Chains A and B, each alone.
Chain A
Amino acid sequence: MNTTAKTAGPPPTISVDGVGRNFTVSGQTLVAIEKIDLDIQQNEFVSIVGTSGCGKSTLLNMIGGLDEPTSGEIRIDGVPVDGPGRDRGFVFQTYSLFEWMTVEGNIRFALEKSTFARAEKDELVRHFIHAVGLSGFEKAYPKQLSGGMKQRVAIARALVYKPSILLMDEPFGALDAQTRGMMQELLLKIWEDHKVTVVFITHDVDEAIFLADRVIVLASRPGRIKKDMRIDLDRPRSYEVLTDPKFAAYKREVLTDIREETLKALGAGQA
């Protein structure tokens, strides 16, 4: 039984069609993702949750062109994905900044392959440093920044060249709760201002619901879509939504699904 997350309507920005991914681990085939069908519309904010090892990163990497499906196909605006491209920006959990470059240098580096004029690039760098609240830290090196600040540089670096899609793999996973909350609000603001399609992976159910238009729950071993849930909460969102009864209902549903999957994984002795 497969839940598909295909949609009717306008052609999707991201279309994942019957995608599976097997790994060969010491001669054995490991089915990381069995078969996923998923459409994501332009400017949609989609969160993906699921137990550890269910294939979230694998799916995101394939959308990003960093990994290839074993079966099926992924298309961006109708064009099959063939490697990474500048229509997609990526933010990793490990920050992954270029330590030998300043904040400004990191962001400017991302523009090197863009065709913008020089003055435009300067303006873009300035704009995004401001958008992530790092004005005044242009000349700082990543080593001198806190985790939240580093991740803000990474977000600016992933957006400065104007990709239409932002892929984020547990970007706030390493941050403390307060910083995390601030980063979520910042991300929503940037998303509203810049109109990008976001695919956001997280372990945190609150975070998934708070941010997204849709929450996709993945089933584990092998990975497939267990639920595709539309989140009907008002935008723009603020932290007050966390106490909304609708929020609680969504949360209960997602938690139940994840618990089921975790128990299954435990039962299979794989967790």
Chain B
Amino acid sequence: MSAPQSRQPRPRKKSASLFQLRQDIPDRVFFAAGFVIPAALLLIWWLVASLGLVKPLFLPGPLSVIGEGWRQLTEGILFEDASVSIYRIVVGWAVATIVAVPVGILMGNYRLVEGLFEPLISTARYMPVVALIPLSILWAGIGDGQKILILFLGTFFQQALMIMDNVKNIDINLIRAGQTLGFTNNEILRRIILPAALPGIWDTFRITIGWTWTYLVVAELVAANSGLGRRIMDAQRYLSTDTILFGTLFIGLLGLLTDYLFKRAGKSLFKWSSQTR
């Protein structure tokens, strides 16, 4: 079947098509757009610094920050800090996830479990994690366990609630279809609800590991002698603003990378999902 062709196809206006409501734009344009604002900020930063509008103590120029990064890289500090921090992030997030997944799934499916956990979790997620540092030291000592505990506390409660929502958001008729096909509750849970909720849960993973990164400095605030967060806090003592800036940007970069990896993995794991684009 072919539609009748008009003899003179109207040339489409290219420029206007970038500003259509909800209209897709070429991938390359979308990708390139992401660099525009960072590049502009970089330019302003460089101008402000090189024109001497602000003292280097308050705002070192981009070059000195890059220089600091190079120093850390060549001296091996960066690698050591990053591996210690990544280890903490991964373990803290993984432990939170291992607990949050079953809790969230059960909360989403059984009103009783929701009733049992909801008040506790909803309260706990507003507790300031920084305030728990003294207790965490008392309970978990001053080793890696304490850092991981802080990351766990910062991640777990939100994550459990989000996974509960992921589970609740699946089409109720999928469950009903399973019932009409003669599957038991347990089978429906494992073979229908879980796979149906998985793309959403994966997205929750992506978002929550981002939050775990934001707790890194808090986790390394006390009794740490290495780590990306620790390096930033130490730099404060010597007013090494370039170290602070580099550390902060580097954590942001690692967070971005994590996000990207999860997105990519999600896309290939859940090709079948209508949510994945």
Contact = CB atoms under 8 A, between A and B. Distances in A.
Interface of A: 64-66, 83-86, 88-90, 92, 94, 96, 98-100, 109-110, 112-113, 141-143, 157-158, 161
A113 B174 contact: no
Contact of A86 (B176, B177, B182): B182
20 contacts: A65-B179, A66-B176, A66-B180, A83-B179, A84-B176, A84-B179, A86-B180, A90-B180, A92-B176, A94-B173, A96-B171, A96-B176, A99-B196, A99-B273, A100-B195, A100-B198, A100-B273, A110-B181, A113-B183, A158-B180
Interface in B189-204: 192, 195-196, 198
A96 B182 contact: no
Contacts of A110: 181
Contacts of A142: 272, 274
A88 B182 contact: no
Nearest to B195: A100
Interface in B253-275: 270-274
Q: Is the interface of A mostly helix, strand, loop or mixed?
A: loop
A172 to B, nearest CB: 16
Contact of A64 (B180, B195, B270, B273): B180
Contacts of B272: 99-100, 141-143
A176 to B, nearest CB: 16
Contacts of B196: 98-100
B273 A143 contact: yes
A187 B89 CA distance: 56
B181 A99 contact: no
Interface centre among A90, A99, A141 (most CB of B within 10 A): A99
Contacts of B182: 84-86, 113
Interface residues of B, number: 19
Nearest to A96: B173
Interface of B: 171, 173-174, 176-177, 179-183, 192, 195-196, 198, 270-274
Contacts, number: 64
A66 B179 contact: yes
A208 B59 CA distance: 74
A113 B177 CA distance: 13
B63 to A, nearest CB: 49
A228 to B, nearest CB: 26
A67 B181 CA distance: 15
A96 B273 contact: no
B181 to A, nearest CB: 5
Contacts of B274: 99, 142-143
B154 to A, nearest CB: 32
Given A143-B273, A143-B274, A96 B177 contact: yes
Given A84-B180, A141-B272, 15 more contacts: A84-B176, A86-B181, A92-B177, A96-B171, A96-B177, A99-B273, A99-B274, A100-B272, A100-B273, A109-B181, A113-B182, A141-B271, A143-B273, A157-B181, A161-B181
Contacts of B270: 100
Nearest to B174: A96
A162 to B, nearest CB: 13
A88 B181 CA distance: 9
B177 A90 contact: yes
Contacts of A99: 196, 272-274
Nearest to A109: B181
A86 B177 CA distance: 11
B181 A92 contact: no
Contacts of B177: 90, 92, 96, 98, 157
Contacts of A85: 182
